[in-house]
C-alpha cells in the first residue's frame, strides 16, 4: 500500500537481506544508507540522528537532492519500526466522537440511561475536560513496538483485540516543563502508530477501585505497529489538519480529521513534559478517532489485514495472526 509523503524525503530504519540494520533516507521509493553521514556514531541509528536533529536536517536536505548517491530500491529491504524510543507517552480519550462512542459501547447492562442521555453526558464531560486543560495520558512499553508491515500476533488470552490508529509525534530536542507555545519546537518528526488494545482488560473487574490496567491491555508484543517512516515536522504544515484512516480488509473503519482532537499535539507534549523529561526518539501518541472495533461490533481476528494512513506520513499494512492456544 503506497501513500504520498509530505515533503521531499523521510527517514526510516531498514535491514538488508544479510540482516544488517541501518537508518535510511527515503526519496521516491529509494533508500540511502545514512549511518555515517554525521560521523562519530551520531547517525548510527535514527535515535542518535534525532539527538543531533538540528545538524542532521540540512545534511539530509542536501543528500536528498543528490542523484549520484548510492541509492537502493526500497523493495529489496525490510522496513522496521522507524525508531526505538526510550519512552512512549500515550493519550487516551482525546477524540471527541471516539470518547462518546466508547461511553455508549461500555454502558453496563443495568445502566438506566438511554443512548441519547449517555451521549449527552459524554459530550458534556469532553467540554469540561477541554476547559480544565487536563489531557489523559499513560505510559507504554517499547517492547510493544513492531514494524509497519509485520504480522501482529493476537495473544491466545486476548478476547477483544481492537485497533486504534494514531498520529504520533516524535521528540527531537529534550523537553521538560515546556509551554504549549514552545512544545512543537521539540517535535522533530511525525509518524503513524496503531495502538492495539485488549478491550476486555482495560478495566479491572477484580479491583474496580483501582480502575484501568494499561499494562495488560496495551503492551503485548507487537501491539504497537509503528511507521513506516519519520516525516520531518517541517514538512507537516498543520498537525491539526490531517486525516487518520484505517481500513479492515479493505473496508473503511476509521476516517477522521485530527481537528476532532480535544487536545492538540502542542498541548499534549507540554502536558507530558510537566512530569517527565521527553527525550530524543520518544513517542507521544495523540489518541485515536471514532470507528474502532467496539463501535462496529467487529473486533480483530485471525487473517484480518489492517491498512492505516495519516495524511503525508505514508501507510502501514499489518496482518493479524491468532496465537495457537
Give the 3-state secondary structure of the chain: CCCCECCCCEEEEEECCCCCEEEEEEECCEEEECCCCCCCCCCCCHHHHHHCHHHHHHHHHHHHCCCCCCCEEHHHCEEECCCCCCCEEEEECCEHHHHHHHHHHCCCCCCCCCHHHHHHHHHHHHHHHHHHCCCEEEEECHHHEECCCCCEEECCCCCCEECCEEEEEEECCCECCCCHHHHHHHEEEEEEEECCEEHHHCECCCCCCCCECHHHHHCCCCCEEECCCEEEHHHCCCHHHCEEEEEECCEEEEEEEHHHECCCHHHHHHHHHCCCCECCCCEEECCCCCCCHHHHCCCCCCCCEEEEEECCECEEEEEEEECCC
Domain ranges (residues) in the chain? 10-80, 88-322
Which pTM value belongs to this model?
0.92
Give the model's pLDDT for residue 317: 98
pLDDT for 1 = 55
What is the pLDDT, as a whole number, of residue 134?
83
Please, what are the averages of pLDDT over each run of 10 residues along the chain (325 residues)?
85 95 96 94 96 97 93 96 98 83 78 86 81 88 98 97 98 98 98 96 86 92 98 96 97 96 95 97 96 93 98 98 90
> Which CATH number, 3.90.850.10, 3.40.30.10, 3.40.50.80, 3.40.50.1820, labels domain 88-322?
3.90.850.10
pLDDT for residue 223: 98
pLDDT computed for residue 114 by the predictor? 84
- The pLDDT score that the predictor gives to residue 120 is 86
Amino acid at each position: 500500500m503506497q501513500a504520498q509523503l509530505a515533503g521531499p524525503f523521510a527517514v526510516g530504519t531498514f535491514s538488508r537481506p544479510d540482516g544488517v540494520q541501518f537508518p535510511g533516507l527515503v526519496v521516491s521509493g529509494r533508500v540511502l544508507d545514512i549511518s555515517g553521514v554525521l560521523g562519530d556514531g551520531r547517525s548510527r541509528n535514527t535515535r542518535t540522528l534525532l539527538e543531533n536533529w538540528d545538524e542532521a536536517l540540512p545534511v539530509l536536505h542536501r543528500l536528498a537532492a543528490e542523484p549520484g548517491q548510492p541509492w537502493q530500491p526500497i523493495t529489496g529491504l525490510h522496513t522496521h519500526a522507524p525508531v526505538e524510543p526510550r519512552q512512549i507517552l500515550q493519550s487516551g480519550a482525546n477524540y471527541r466522537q471516539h470518547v462518546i462512542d466508547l461511553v455508549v459501547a461500555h454502558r453496563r447492562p443495568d445502566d438506566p440511561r438511554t443512548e441519547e442521555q449517555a451521549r449527552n453526558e459524554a459530550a458534556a464531560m469532553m467540554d469540561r475536560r477541554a476547559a480544565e486543560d487536563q489531557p489523559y495520558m499513560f505510559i507504554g512499553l517499547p517492547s510493544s513496538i513492531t514494524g509497519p508491515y509485520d504480522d501482529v500476533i493476537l495473544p491466545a488470552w486476548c478476547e477483544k483485540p481492537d485497533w486504534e490508529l494514531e498520529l504520533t509525534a516524535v521528540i527531537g530536542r529534550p523537553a521538560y516543563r515546556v509551554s504549549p507555545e514552545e512544545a512543537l519546537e521539540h517535535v522533530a518528526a511525525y509518524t503513524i502508530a496503531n495502538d492495539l488494545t485488549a478491550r476486555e482488560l482495560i478495566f479491572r473487574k477484580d479491583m474496580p477501585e483501582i480502575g484501568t490496567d494499561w499494562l495488560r491491555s496495551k503492551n503485548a508484543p507487537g501491539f504497537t505497529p509503528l511507521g513506516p517512516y519519520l516525516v520531518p515536522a517541517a514538512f507537516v504544515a498543520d498537525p491539526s489538519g490531517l486525516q487518520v484512516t484505517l481500513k479492515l480488509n479493505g473496508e473503511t473503519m476509521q476516517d477522521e480529521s485530527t481537528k476532532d482532537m480535544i487536545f492538540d499535539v502542542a498541548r499534549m507534549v507540554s502536558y507530558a513534559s510537566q512530569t517527565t523529561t521527553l527525550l530524543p526518539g520518544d513517542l507521544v501518541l495523540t489518541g485515536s478517532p471514532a470507528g474502532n472495533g467496539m463501535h462496529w461490533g467487529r473486533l480483530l481476528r485471525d487473517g484480518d489485514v489492517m491498512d492505516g494512513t495519516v495524511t503525508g506520513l505514508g501507510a502501514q499494512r499489518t496482518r493479524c495472526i491468532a496465537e495457537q492456544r
